[in-house]
C-alpha cells in the first residue's frame, strides 16, 4: 500500500470516528439556564435571564445558535445587557463587540403601527467554534403590572442545570404550579422567594407529529393576576364604518356570524404578541377596527363587538388551565374565544381560525371523508377507456392491452407522510381523529379482465379500525376502503400497530387496479 493510500485511509478513519462521536452527542448543551423574577415593593418587576451554552458542532453555530433575540417594549420596559461573551475551547474569553448588538422591529409587530414601539435586540455571538461556550446575561425591568409566565423545563438541547427563581413582596400572593412533575425538578422556598431547580434535563423530542413540549415535559406556571374575566372591557362600541360592514352582510343570522368571523380572521393582521409581552395592555374593539390589526386577544374583542352589532348576545370567554397552589384553585389563561346562543344552541368562535359553524358539542375535529363513485370501462380493440361520475378518468397504459386505474388518494388523517414515521418512538403521536369511507364500483366489459385477487385486509385496534376490500362479482368489481380513527393521540405502546396500519392504508398496491384487454 502506497503512502498516499495510507494517508487517505487514515483520514477516512478519523472522519468516521469524529462523525460517530458527533452522532452520539447533541449539537449543543446548556450548562446553565437561569430565569429570575423579582417584584419590588413599588410593583416594578425585574427579570434576569442567563444562559451558558456549549457548542458541540459546526451546525450549532452556523445554523442554530449564532444569534439570540430579546423582545421588549421601551414604553414600559428597559433592557440592560449585563454580559455577552464567548469562552473559546482553549479557555480564552472574547467579549461581544459593540456592533454585535442590533435593534430591529420584531417580525410579529410588522404592519401594525400600534406595535411599532416594540424592539427586538439581536445579539450576534462572535468567536464561535466547536467546543466554545456562549454566555449571555441580561435584565429587563418593567413598570408595575402582573407576572404571567409559563416555563417548560426542556429546550432544544439538553440542560445540565435550569434555575427559575421568583421573589415577591411578603404582602403579595404568588400562584404557582407544576404540571407533568418530575423528580428532576425540585422546589425550595425561603420566605417569599421560590426557587425551582431542574437538573440533567433531556432535549425536546424532534420526532414528527409529537405533542407540544408542554404536554411532555415539566411545566411551571407563574401568576400574580386575577382571573382574566375581571380584566375585560365593558365597552365594545364600534365606529360607523363597522356598522356599515355589518349592515351589508347577507344571509341568515348564522351566515352573518360566519362572515364576521371570516372577516376578522382573514382581513385583520394578526400580530403574534402575547398579553404577557404587552404587560396586559390592550386596545378596545373600536381601536382595533380602525387599526385593522391586533394580537389574538384584541381581535377577539373586535369579533365580539361585531357580533353584538349584528344583534347577538355574545361575550368573550377564556379557556384556562385549572391548577392548584397551596390547596386552592387558580386559573391560568390558555386562549380566548367568543360565545353566543342561537335557537337554544351554543356556539363558539375564535378570532384566529374560521370554518364550518357548528353548535358546541358537535365534533369539528374529526375529519370526515366520504367518496362513492362508479367507473365504467369500455374497450376499443386493445385500447381501454374509463368514465366516472365526474367524466372521463385517466388510465395509465402499462403495456399493450394492460392499463392501471389509481383510486383517489385518501385524505383526512393520513395526510401525514409515512416516511416521517421513525422505527422507534419515544413520544406519543398526534394524528387527529378521522372517519373515511371510499366505495368504488367498476363495470368491466366481457373482454376485460381484472388482473388481481380478492383482498380483505382488516385491522381492529384500540385506536381505530381499517378495512380494505376488493372482490369481483360477475362483471362488477367492488372496492371498499374504510377507516375510523377514534383516538387523536397514539400512545408509544401502540405506535408500531398504528404505523403498520398506516403503511397498509397508503400502500399503492391497495389503491391501484390493473386490467387486461383480451381478444
Would you state the pLDDT for residue 509? 87
* Domain limits, the chain: 25-225, 230-349, 367-517
Specify the pLDDT at position 44.
Answer: 95
pLDDT at 1: 54
Q: Are 37 and 145 in contact (CB under 8 A)?
A: no
CATH (one of 2.60.120.1130, 3.30.70.20, 1.10.3720.10, 3.40.50.300) for 367-517: 2.60.120.1130
What is the structure's pLDDT at 15?
Answer: 46
> b/e string for 363-397 if b means 16 or more Cβ within 10 A?
eeebbebeeebebebebeeeebebeeeeeebebee
Report pLDDT for 378: 93
Mean pLDDT, the chain, as a whole number?
90
Using 70 as the pLDDT threshold, list the residues of the chain that sit under it: 1-24, 362-368, 409-415
The C-alpha atoms of residue 266 and residue 284 are separated, in whole angstroms, by 20
Give CATH for domain 25-225.
2.60.40.3140
> 281 to each of 76, 297, 459, how far by Cα in Å?
10, 10, 53
Structure confidence at residue 17 (pLDDT): 42
Would you state the pLDDT for residue 20? 41
* From the candidate CATH numbers 3.30.365.10, 3.40.47.10, 2.40.50.100, 3.10.620.30, the one assigned to the domain spanning 230-349: 3.10.620.30
pLDDT attached to residue 336: 93
Amino acid at each position: 500500500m502506497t503512502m498516499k493510500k495510507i494517508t487517505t485511509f487514515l483520514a477516512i478513519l478519523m472522519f468516521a470516528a469524529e462523525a460517530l462521536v458527533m452522532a452520539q452527542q447533541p449539537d449543543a448543551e446548556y450548562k446553565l439556564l437561569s430565569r429570575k423574577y423579582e417584584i419590588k415593593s413599588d410593583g416594578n418587576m425585574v427579570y434576569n435571564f442567563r444562559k451558558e451554552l456549549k457548542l458541540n458542532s459546526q451546525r450549532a453555530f452556523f445554523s442554530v445558535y449564532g444569534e439570540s433575540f430579546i423582545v421588549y417594549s421601551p414604553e414600559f420596559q428597559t433592557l440592560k445587557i449585563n454580559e455577552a461573551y464567548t469562552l473559546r475551547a482553549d479557555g480564552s474569553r472574547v467579549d461581544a463587540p459593540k456592533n454585535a448588538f442590533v435593534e430591529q422591529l420584531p417580525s410579529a409587530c410588522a404592519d401594525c403601527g400600534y406595535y411599532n414601539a416594540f424592539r427586538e435586540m439581536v445579539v450576534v455571538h462572535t468567536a464561535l467554534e466547536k467546543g466554545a461556550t456562549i454566555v449571555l446575561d441580561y435584565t429587563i425591568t418593567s413598570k408595575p403590572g402582573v407576572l404571567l409566565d409559563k416555563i417548560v423545563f426542556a429546550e432544544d438541547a439538553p440542560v445540565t442545570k435550569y434555575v427559575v427563581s421568583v421573589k415577591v413582596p411578603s404582602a403579595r400572593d404568588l400562584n404557582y404550579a407544576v404540571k407533568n412533575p418530575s423528580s428532576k425538578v425540585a422546589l425550595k422556598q425561603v420566605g417569599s422567594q421560590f426557587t425551582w431547580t431542574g437538573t440533567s434535563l433531556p432535549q425536546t423530542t424532534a420526532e414528527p407529529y409529537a405533542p407540544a413540549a408542554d404536554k411532555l415535559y415539566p411545566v411551571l406556571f407563574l401568576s400574580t393576576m386575577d382571573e382574566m374575566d375581571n380584566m375585560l372591557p365593558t365597552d365594545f362600541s364600534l365606529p360607523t364604518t363597522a356598522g356599515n360592514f355589518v349592515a351589508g352582510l347577507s344571509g341568515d343570522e348564522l351566515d352573518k356570524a360566519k362572515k364576521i368571523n371570516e372577516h376578522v380572521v382573514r382581513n385583520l393582521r394578526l400580530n403574534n404578541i402575547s398579553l404577557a409581552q404587552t404587560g396586559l395592555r390592550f386596545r378596545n374593539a373600536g381601536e382595533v377596527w380602525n387599526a385593522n390589526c391586533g394580537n389574538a386577544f384584541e381581535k377577539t374583542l373586535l369579533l365580539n363587538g361585531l357580533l353584538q352589532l349584528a344583534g347577538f348576545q355574545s361575550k368573550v370567554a377564556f379557556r384556562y388551565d385549572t391548577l392548584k397552589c397551596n390547596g386552592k384553585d387558580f386559573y391560568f389563561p390558555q386562549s380566548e374565544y367568543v360565545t353566543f346562543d342561537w335557537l337554544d344552541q351554543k356556539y363558539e368562535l375564535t378570532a384566529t381560525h374560521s370554518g364550518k359553524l357548528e353548535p358546541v358539542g358537535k365534533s369539528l375535529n374529526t375529519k370526515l371523508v366520504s367518496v362513492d363513485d362508479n367507473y365504467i370501462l369500455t374497450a376499443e380493440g386493445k385500447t381501454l377507456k374509463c368514465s366516472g361520475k365526474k367524466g372521463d378518468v385517466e388510465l395509465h397504459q402499462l403495456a399493450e392491452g394492460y392499463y392501471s386505474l389509481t383510486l383517489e388518494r385518501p385524505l383526512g388523517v393520513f395526510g401525514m407522510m409515512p416516511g416521517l414515521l421513525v422505527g422507534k418512538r419515544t413520544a406519543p403521536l398526534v394524528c387527529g381523529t378521522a372517519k373515511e369511507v371510499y366505495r368504488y364500483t367498476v363495470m368491466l366489459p366481457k373482454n376485460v379482465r381484472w388482473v388481481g385477487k380478492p383482498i380483505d385486509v382488516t385491522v381492529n385496534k384500540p385506536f381505530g379500525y381499517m378495512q380494505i376490500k376488493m372482490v369481483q362479482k360477475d362483471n362488477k368489481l367492488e372496492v371498499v376502503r374504510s377507516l375510523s380513527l377514534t383516538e387523536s393521540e397514539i400512545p408509544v405502546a401502540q405506535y408500531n400497530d398504528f404505523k403498520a396500519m398506516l403503511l397498509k392504508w397508503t400502500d399503492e398496491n391497495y389503491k391501484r387496479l390493473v386490467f387486461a384487454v383480451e381478444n
